[in-house]
């Protein structure tokens, strides 16, 4: 056989094998994907995103965002089945959320499995519902690409700064389109590699980036949510209020005036020599969590403090000058 024709035949065979492998990977992974729809929409907020199944009892992993802010949260599985989901909990640092639908879901990504090693140049498939083109039993969109870099995440979107500073996978597939965040990044064997991240712009190059959060960064955070170590705002377990509970005044700080619906929990001032001052809390700190519970406004912050006895410590997750910090306050 002519060497030229042999080389062409070899290339065709390799391409065919690659295509067959990709198809097999998609048949394995598409049943594990979820299309998510919420209220959003208003003032340009996104009203759709992607998600992945992570248990056989209907748990879904996705990213945080306006889609999840209000009920109902509607989920459509790969086969077209539609469900209303409940928000189980969130992790603000990683910008991830876990939802729950009332369904048996035998096809799911097992985040507790050993992560697959990933190197720069590895071929990948990004499976997302970009532009919300899939509404029923249509499969999600699939993009081919490679891992172009593994680097710490330094990104923001408007006033929002990515709290996670660990390594992420930068990919050359365009995954920063509306509807894509929360999708799955898999290899050609269908192995889960990471969760497609939110629409963020690099703080070093001022361009939108296409990235995925590695499985190694997700597994323990997701388990904490499932174990209720972190919860959504307003979802704290019902407990008897102590006779002497913490309040902002007892801690020694004053919040911004609560004059608007969902007023953010910003610190307006800190009293000198108070427990808050001694712990290092300062004005303009933005309180995100109290003892593992997410707070979304001044009201929910005060409600969370009412459940903590003054004899017990208060642990605050705050956002200060684009950085998350943990402040522990004791009496």
d(CA 273, CA 254): 14
Q: Please, where are the H alpha helices in the chain?
A: 3-29, 215-226, 248-251, 275-279, 298-305
- Determine which of 13-27, 131-145, 219-233, 306-320 has the lowest per-residue pLDDT on average: 13-27
Q: For residue range 130-166, list pLDDT tens digits in order.
A: 998 888 899 999 999 999 999 888 876 655 667 788 8
* Shared fold status for 27-226 and 248-329: no
CATH architecture, range 248-329: Roll (2.30)
Of the chain, the percentage scoring pLDDT greater than 90 comes to 50
Domain 27-226 has CATH 2.40.10.120: yes
Q: What CA–CA distance (Å, rounded) separates 113 from 219?
A: 9
Region 1-10: mean pLDDT is 54
For β-strands 141-152 and 167-171, DSSP reports them as antiparallel
Residue 208 confidence (pLDDT)? 84
For 180-191, how does the pLDDT look when each residue is reduced to its tens digit (9 = 90+)? 999 999 999 999
Q: What is the pLDDT of residue 300?
A: 86
- Stated pTM of the model: 0.73
Confidence (pLDDT) at 27: 87
Instruction: Tell me the per-residue pLDDT of 69-97, one tens digit each, with 9 for 90 and over.
Output: 778 899 999 999 999 999 999 888 888 99
**Residue 237: its pLDDT value, please?**
43
pLDDT confidence of residue 150: 93
CB 73 within 8 A of CB 87: yes
Angle at the Cα of 253 from the Cα atoms of 250 and 256, rounded to 5 degrees: 130
Please provide the distance, in angstroms rounded to a whole number, between the alpha carbons at the two ends of the chain. 85
pLDDT, residue 21, reads 56
Look up residue 24 and give its DSSP letter: H
Q: What is the residue extent of each domain of the chain?
A: 27-226, 248-329
Query: Could you give the strand order of the β-sheet that contains 286-290, starting from the edge strand earlier in sequence?
Result: 293-294, 286-290, 314-320, 323-329
* 189-194 long-range Cβ contacts below 8 angstroms, 24+ apart: 189/21, 189/25, 190/24, 190/25, 190/26, 190/28, 190/29, 191/116, 192/29, 192/52, 192/109, 192/110, 192/111, 192/116, 193/115, 193/116, 193/118, 193/124, 193/169, 194/168, 194/169, 194/218
Q: Got the DSSP string for 288-303?
A: EEETTEE--SHHHHHH
């Amino acid at each position: 056989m002519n060497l030229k024709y042999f080389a062409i035949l070899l290339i065709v065979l390799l391409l065919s094998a690659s295509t067959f492998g990709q198809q097999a990977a998609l048949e394995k992974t598409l049943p594990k994907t979820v299309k998510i729809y919420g209220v959003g929409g208003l003032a340009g907020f996104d009203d759709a995103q992607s998600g992945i199944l992570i248990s056989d009892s209907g748990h879904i992993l996705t990213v945080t965002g306006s889609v999840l802010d209000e009920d109902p949260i509607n989920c459509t599985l790969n086969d077209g089945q539609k469900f209303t989901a409940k928000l189980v909990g969130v992790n603000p640092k990683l910008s991830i959320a876990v939802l729950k639908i009332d369904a048996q879901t035998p096809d799911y990504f097992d985040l507790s499995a050993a992560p697959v090693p990933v190197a720069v140049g590895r071929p990948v498939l990004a499976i997302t519902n970009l532009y919300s083109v899939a509404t029923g039993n249509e499969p999600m969109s699939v993009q081919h690409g490679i891992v172009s870099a593994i680097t710490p995440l330094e990104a923001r979107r408007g006033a929002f700064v990515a709290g996670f500073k660990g390594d992420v996978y930068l990919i050359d597939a365009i995954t920063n389109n509306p509807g894509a965040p929360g999708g799955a990044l898999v290899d050609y064997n269908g192995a889960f590699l990471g969760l497609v991240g939110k629409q963020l712009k690099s703080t070093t190059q001022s361009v939108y980036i296409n990235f995925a959060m590695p499985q190694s960064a997700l597994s323990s955070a997701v388990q904490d949510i499932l174990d209720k170590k972190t919860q959504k705002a307003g979802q704290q377990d019902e407990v008897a209020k102590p006779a002497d509970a913490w309040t902002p005044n007892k801690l020694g700080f004053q919040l911004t005036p609560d004059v608007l619906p969902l007023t953010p929990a910003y610190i307006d001032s800190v009293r000198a020599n108070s427990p808050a001052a001694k712990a290092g809390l300062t004005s303009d700190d933005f309180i995100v969590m109290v003892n593992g519970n997410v707070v979304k406004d001044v009201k929910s912050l005060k409600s969370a403090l009412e459940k903590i006895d003054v004899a017990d410590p208060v642990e605050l997750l705050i956002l200060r000058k684009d950085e998350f910090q943990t402040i522990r306050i004791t009496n």
